[in-house]
Amino acid sequence: MRKAFAALIAATTLSLQLAFPASAATIQGSIVDFSPTSLIKKDGSYWAWSGKLAVPTQIHGLTDVKAAYPEQLVVKQDDTVWHWQRDNVTGQVSIEQIPGAVGLNAVLRYWGDEALLVDTSGTVFAVPVSRNELVPSKTRKLEGIANVARIAAYEEVTPDSRRQSALLFLKKDGSVVRSTPELARFSPVPGWSEMLDIERNAGLKRDGTVWKLPEEVAELGRVDAKAKQVQGLSNIAKINGNAAIDQDGRLWFWGKAVIGYSDAAAYYEQPPIMFSTVPHAREAYVVDHSLVALTDDGKLYEFSLEGFKLAPNAKFNLLATGVEEVEASRHLIFRLKDGSLWGWGFNKNAELGYGDYEFSHELPVPVQKPIAVILNGESVALTNGVVTRASQAFVPLRSVFEKLGAKLAWNDAAKLVTLTGSDSDKPLQITINYRTGVTQLNGETVTLQTPPFSVSGTSYLPLRFISEQLGAQVDWNQAAEKIDIRFKY
């Protein structure tokens, strides 16, 4: 079933968040659920990445989590809904409950000052947004609307060339109502009954036909714009953006497409087109300016929607095989049969959890493993998650070593870190030059398999080498994805 929907109208594209969780018995690895920028492990711990967090980093204070959603929302085992946020300067995490919400069916962030949440009862909650963060304490229930299953948002262009957002609410009985952004008035969409799904300004009926509301309105504030059937689409089973899959597993694309690049790009209306080159499609995603399809046999294909006109025999690129689940935003995170997570696409803000800030990745890259660091039985809250390179674990400069009694000094001009041990009977000084990669132990140069490195201003140090020099015992628990450190103070 569809897990959540997150949309930001100001973005270039709108992307549907889909999830089709496997049963617990079939899930391989430690991850039970994931979103485009977070994951949940079998122990109920929650891990997030993107922005200042280059790799999966445990959000301490969140336990017993069973489902991850966009907008930094989670659902716990007791079906309570929580929002978390992290101060980028101090690293402190605050966690607040969304009052009244029981489970989640949909999440919508639209061009406005609120995010809309639909819980499992069909109640819609409006959560104010301040400085790009949700404010749970001011959550309110929407009056005049109930029994909602899905929400969608799209832009209308008024005669005076102003853009305004319009909201569609799919109710559990298959009817659809419409509202303008102020959420003060709800009106039924004429003719929209027996609907299975809504996506932007389009709706899928139970009879397999697709209907579309105009994205241009005849007059300001009009709410009764007539829907038209999209000719050429029939027997459709699923829609997602401008992508569709019919009952026979054939992949379709329709609506706005682009030809050319950057400032020379031109948009045109693409009539429905069926691709013969991707048979047995199971899911489809419009990701940035690419069309991505997942087939029944677990193959993930991609085709760029830029540069040239579409054709039925368009050649799709194979991204991966053995894919079980996909989460899509402006990028992809997908899980393979072995339980590992991989990312593809847009990565300007470390959205792929790979540990870099390359603008995008044309080939899939592995999401870093969610590795916990346990010191004398207590989980250590890291400023950024563990990064593994050449089977070595690296942790941020100020995360573990000070807890082991070390003193750290950082020379920003020389890009030199000096670490001094606290045991007077066993003098210890480690210096690491991040410019040259030279590491010295008590004045003697040592060769590390992988030299220390920096990621977007965060300096990483080799965990085992330094911990053992400080007198700690370090063990790697591969099954639990934990590094156990034992240290006598």
**CA dist., res. 293 & res. 313, Å (int):** 15
Show the 3-state SS of 280-291: CEEEEEEECCEE
Residues in the chain, total: 489
Encoding tokens for residue 291? 């069309």
391 plus 299 within the same structural domain: no
pLDDT tens for residues 336-349? 999 999 999 999 99
Q: How confident is the model at residue 308 (pLDDT cuts 50, 70, 90)?
A: low
Mapping DSSP to helix (H, G, I), strand (E, B) and coil, where does residue 70 land? coil
Q: How confident is the model at residue 88 (pLDDT cuts 50, 70, 90)?
A: confident
Range of the domain at 301: 4-366
CATH number at residue 350: 2.130.10
Pairing of strands 482-486, 372-375: parallel
Taking each continuous run of H as one helix and of E as one strand, the counts in the chain are 1, 48
Maximum separation of any 2 CA atoms in the chain, in Å: 84
423 plus 407 within the same structural domain: yes
Ramachandran assignment for 322, one of left (phi > 0), alpha (psi -120 to 50 degrees), beta (any other)? left
Decide if 169 contacts 186 (C-beta within 8 A): yes
362 plus 281 within the same structural domain: yes
258 plus 401 within the same structural domain: no
98 plus 214 within the same structural domain: yes
Question: Measured at the alpha carbon of residue 125, what is the angle toward residues 147 and 189, in degrees to the nearest 5?
Answer: 50
Question: Measured at the alpha carbon of residue 379, what is the angle toward residues 22 and 340, in degrees to the nearest 5?
Answer: 30
361 plus 381 within the same structural domain: no
pLDDT tens for residues 21-66? 333 345 688 999 999 999 999 999 999 999 999 999 999 999 999 9
Encoding tokens for residue 478? 């591969």
379 plus 338 within the same structural domain: no
379 plus 350 within the same structural domain: no
pLDDT tens for residues 282-301? 999 999 889 999 999 999 99
What's the pLDDT score for residue 5? 40
Q: Which of 366, 383, 410 is the last residue of a domain?
A: 366
335 plus 406 within the same structural domain: no
Closest of 329, 328, 5, 19 to residue 149, by C-alpha: 5
Q: Which of 366, 397, 422 is the last residue of a domain?
A: 366
CATH number at residue 477: 3.30.457.10
Structural domain total, the chain: 2
Question: Measured at the alpha carbon of residue 287, what is the angle toward residues 285 and 290, in degrees to the nearest 5?
Answer: 95
* DSSP for 169-220, written as a single string: EEETTS-EEEE-TT----EE-TT--SEEEEETTEEEETTS-EEE--SB-SST
297 plus 393 within the same structural domain: no
Encoding tokens for residue 162? 């102003």
Bridge partners of 128, per DSSP, are: 114
424 plus 468 within the same structural domain: yes
pLDDT at 131 over 90: no
350 plus 379 within the same structural domain: no
Q: Which of 312, 333, 366 is the last residue of a domain?
A: 366
pLDDT tens for residues 464-475? 999 999 999 999
pLDDT at 221 over 90: no
pLDDT at 8 over 70: no
pLDDT tens for residues 391-435? 899 999 888 999 999 999 999 999 999 999 887 678 899 999 999
